[in-house]
Amino acid sequence: MLTFKRRYLFTGCLMLKTGLHIGGGEIGLGASGSLVVRTPDGKPYIPGSSFKGAFRSTVESLAPLVGLRSCGLMAGQGCPGAQGSEQDAFNRRRRAENWRDRDIIRHLQGGISIDGQTIRLCDTCWLFGSPFTASRIFFSDLYLGGDEEGIVQVRDGVAIDRDSERAVEGLLYDYEVVAPTQVFQMEVWLEDPTDTDVGLICLGLSEFLSEFGGLGGHRSRGLGRCQITDLEIYELDLTVDDLEERAKRLRKYLLGRTPADKMTRIEDPQDFINRQIEALFYKEADHAEKGSQ
């Protein structure tokens, strides 16, 4: 039996608009320098965890604009997903009352009251994962589309003191970047999402589709701007009530060998994204109405 009921696959290209620096080590460029991360055969790539982190912070900054909750992994937002006093308080209560797994989920959903504050897992922690819940979204490592020369460049900058953010006199800092216009192959899976999860993903995709995506280090120097192109979305939804339709989808899924064979390709990805984002606004209006009653 399949353990999931609804699944999405997002594929496309991630194109670098500016140089990209994802640090992969400090050796080889002198005392003060940083290499880009590479595969064992020496080609630069983007670890899925790096892309996930960048995508998560993009979604976290947008979620509150449509009335959803996001702690941004910072303490003080009433979410036990972030390290800090709320997580500590949640764990103390969990141990004291000897919660089982299902109790933990119930309390993450419904919230618990501690010192007059409600502590409840935020919408972005549900989607991207927390110390109590698995992530519903999975980012594959992104590899280069082609085999080109001159992919990596060395730039020299002035070393910046991390605390004062001022230049350190006389200290040069060499760092490698992956050259602009390079294209990486993207693959993102979403497993058993709620409608809110799908909406949140679409908020993030929308930013990356419109060149507002950011990734990697030295972003204050203009690095790491990137854009998603050639986006394709595939859907499998077994939550339909129509049993005949459900059987048809399941059969297609089990007999198919490629995502396109197994799942339903969304004809117009841009329209799909816009509809999911619109739905978040309706949800917000719904919340506001309920709140005022």
Tokens at 60, concatenated: 């976290």
Is-contact 186 230, C-beta < 8 A? no
Write down the residue that tokens 């590479």 correspond to.
38
Residue placing its CB nearer to Zn ion in the complex, 88 or 230: 88
Residue placing its CB nearer to Zn ion in the complex, 122 or 190: 122
Residue placing its CB nearer to Zn ion in the complex, 89 or 159: 89
- Smallest distance from Zn ion to CB 75, Å: 10
Residue placing its CB nearer to Zn ion in the complex, 122 or 280: 122
Residue placing its CB nearer to Zn ion in the complex, 84 or 217: 84
- Smallest distance from Zn ion to CB 80, Å: 8
> Can you give the binding site for Zn ion, defined by CB under 5 A?
71, 79, 81, 122, 125
- Smallest distance from Zn ion to CB 79, Å: 3
- Smallest distance from Zn ion to CB 121, Å: 6
- Smallest distance from Zn ion to CB 100, Å: 22
Distant-in-sequence contacts of 262-265, Cβ < 8 A, 24+ apart: 262/234, 262/236, 263/7, 263/9, 263/234, 263/235, 263/236, 264/234, 264/235, 264/236, 264/237, 265/232, 265/233, 265/234
Q: Which residues of the chain form beta strands (DSSP E)?
A: 6-16, 23-25, 33-36, 112-114, 117-119, 137-139, 152-160, 167-178, 183-191, 213-214, 225-237, 264-265
Q: What H or E segment, with its residue span, contains residue 61?
A: helix 48-62
